[in-house]
């Protein structure tokens, strides 16, 4: 009888422990967050590089995102976008992957199917539509001549996309 009591206690203890054990997959939801940003301030001309202010903004973006756990960085194949992505790519040691801005719907599907924390560097005419294609808010049109501080955050971790628009670096002031 004593042996049965001991076995019963051990079995119940094991069952209690099993009931409380959880794996990391069940306790932590997979992170699926996408940061979208327009390139920083650019010089004039065809396929221009960043200005000094643009380089400073790219560094500010790297400061902001360096502890977010980025897993992927995407950019269009233009100097201004690649130079905007360069500081954060260097800090995170991630390779900048190129994407085609002419097919944002297909690219949005790639982003939706890639879990992790992703940065996408684009343009004033591609970033808001991409945010929308991901299920986020596009916001008002980007002021082409002066607005370089808009940062979209689209969170695809939950059942429904959640999005917000933040500002970073030197403050953008809309023309009055």
Share of the chain above pLDDT 90, in %: 78
Closest CA to 151 of 58, 48, 27: 58
What 146-150 contacts at long range (C-beta under 8 Å, 24+ apart), as own/partner pairs, is 146/172, 146/173, 146/174, 146/175, 147/38, 147/172, 147/174, 148/38, 148/39, 148/40, 148/41, 148/54, 148/57, 148/172, 149/57, 150/37, 150/38
pLDDT at 175 over 70: no
Contacts of 106 (CB under 8 A, 6+ apart): 100
- pLDDT one-digit tens code per residue, 103-145: 999 999 999 999 999 999 999 999 999 999 999 999 999 999 9
Residue 12 pLDDT exceeds 60: no
CA separation (Å) from 94 to 66, 71, 87, 131?
Answer: 11, 7, 10, 22
Average pLDDT over residues 38-45: 96
Percent of the chain with pLDDT over 70: 81
CA proximity to 120, closest of 151, 92, 156? 151
Instruction: Quote the pLDDT of residue 134.
Output: 98
User: Could you read off the pLDDT of 68-111 as tens digits, one per residue?
Assistant: 999 999 999 999 999 999 999 999 999 999 999 999 999 999 99
User: C-alpha 168: how far from its chain's center?
Assistant: 14
Count helices and strands in the chain by DSSP H and E runs = 6, 6
Contacts of 25 (CB under 8 A, 6+ apart): none
Q: In what order do the strands lie in the sheet with 32-38?
A: 96-98, 70-75, 116-122, 32-38, 150-155, 162-167
State the pLDDT at residue 35. Answer: 98
For the chain, list the domains and their CATH numbers: 28-167 (3.40.50.1240)
């Amino acid at each position: 009888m004593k042996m049965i009591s001991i076995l019963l206690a051990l079995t119940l203890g094991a069952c209690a422990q099993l009931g409380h054990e959880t794996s990391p997959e069940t306790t932590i939801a997979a992170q699926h967050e996408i940061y979208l940003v327009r390139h920083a301030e650019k010089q004039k001309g065809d396929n221009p590089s960043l200005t000094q202010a643009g380089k400073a903004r790219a560094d500010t973006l790297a400061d902001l995102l360096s502890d977010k756990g980025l897993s992927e960085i995407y950019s269009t194949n233009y100097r201004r976008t690649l130079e905007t992505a360069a500081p954060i790519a260097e800090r995170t040691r991630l390779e900048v992957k190129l994407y085609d801005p002419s097919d944002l719907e297909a690219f949005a599907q790639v982003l939706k199917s890639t879990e992790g924390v992703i940065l996408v560097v684009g343009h004033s005419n591609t970033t808001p539509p991409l945010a929308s294609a991901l299920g986020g808010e596009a916001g008002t049109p980007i002021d082409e001549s002066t607005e370089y501080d808009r940062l979209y955050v689209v969170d695809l971790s939950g059942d429904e996309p959640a999005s917000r628009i933040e500002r970073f670096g030197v403050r953008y002031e809309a023309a009055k």
